Amino acid sequence: MLLTLSLIWGGSYILIKKSLIVFSPVQVACLRLGISCIVFSPVFFYLLPSIDWSKLKYLIVVGLTGTGFPAFLFPIAQTEISSSLAGVLSSLSPLFTLVLGVLFFGMAVQRSKIIGVILGLMGAVLLIGFGAIAGIKGNLWYGVFIIIGCFSYATSTNMVKAKLQEVSSFIISAIAFFITGIPCIFYLFSTDILNVIQVHEYGWKSLGAVALLSLAGTVLATILFFKLVQVSNPVFASLVSYLIPLVAVLFGLLDGEAITILHFLGMFLILSGVYWSRGK
């Protein structure tokens, strides 16, 4: 599951990049969530009688933080930064999972974990603060949207382990897609997105990229990740971030993106932080 998630999520950043050729960040997010909702709706209605509604508030939090907010934050970031840089910064997720776990979910504090958090944040600061000097193009401060998205993922991960351990990953996913996807579908119908798809030279190609992003990067990956959290632990599940930046950088290279030494230095610091944060 860990390897499969790494390949799927590592490739998501290049799909977002291709989607943004035609659509706005909000449209990319709404298409992603809307398609996921439609595809998963039969599962939602099938599982409806077995949902434990006493856990609804936790399911809503997980839906918004694990699916809803990041779907908007990452496309916004990638209007100014490359898919490679987005993939590298996303590896902060396990560090934030640790921080929130310690602060709010009773996770034990260890010196190695503190060292890990410091190393990871140093890597992020290096990439955002000094990237322009090293030749990384774009408004690098948009990387902050990736960092907020990582905090959002970390909240969802800890909540699943602490409050939804016994709930089926299919039920968690069904609720997440339903509560985030329905408003997005209504929004899309209020725009001229159908005309854009038909008129724009790359309309159908970008729609295909969003569809693949939805089916693989959202539906399949979300089910796998929630299941991985349940059968392991939040920090281990977040170690998918070890491989995501490597996959994202590889796809970026194949798509002609410029990769600098700072990408690898930042990746080294962040992944060193992830390694130390595992504890003993």
- Torsion, CA 147, CA 79, CA 176, CA 236, rounded to 10: -40
Considering its fold, how many domains does the chain have in total? 1
> What does the alpha-carbon distance between residue 265 and residue 82 come to, in Å, rounded to a whole number?
16
- Percentage with pLDDT > 90 across the chain: 35
Which tokens hold the place of 191? 């725009």
The pLDDT of residue 169: 81
Q: What is the span of the domain harbouring residue 23?
A: 2-277
> What does the alpha-carbon distance between residue 96 and residue 167 come to, in Å, rounded to a whole number?
24
Give the mean model confidence (pLDDT) for residues 135-158. Answer: 87
**In this predicted model, which residue has the larger pLDDT, 77 or 6?**
77
Residue 280 has pLDDT above 60, yes or no: no
**In this predicted model, which residue has the larger pLDDT, 113 or 145?**
145
Residue (of 96, 122, 119, 92) closest to 107 by Cα position: 96
- Ordered DSSP codes for 142-208: GHHHHHHHHHHHHHHHHHHHHH-TTS-HHHHHHHHHHHHHHHHHHHHHTTTHHHHHHHSTTHHHHHH
Residue 133 has pLDDT above 80, yes or no: no
Residue 135 has pLDDT above 70, yes or no: no
Residue 148 has pLDDT above 90, yes or no: yes
The answer to whether the beta carbons of residues 273 and 93 sit under 8 Å apart is: no
pLDDT level of residue 115 (50, 70, 90 thresholds): confident
Which tokens hold the place of 43? 């599962």
The rounded radius of gyration (Å) of the Cα atoms in the chain is 18
> What does the alpha-carbon distance between residue 179 and residue 66 come to, in Å, rounded to a whole number?
12
Give the mean model confidence (pLDDT) for residues 236-258. Answer: 77
Instruction: Please state the pTM of the whole predicted model.
Output: 0.83
> What does the alpha-carbon distance between residue 183 and residue 252 come to, in Å, rounded to a whole number?
32
41: helix, strand or coil: helix
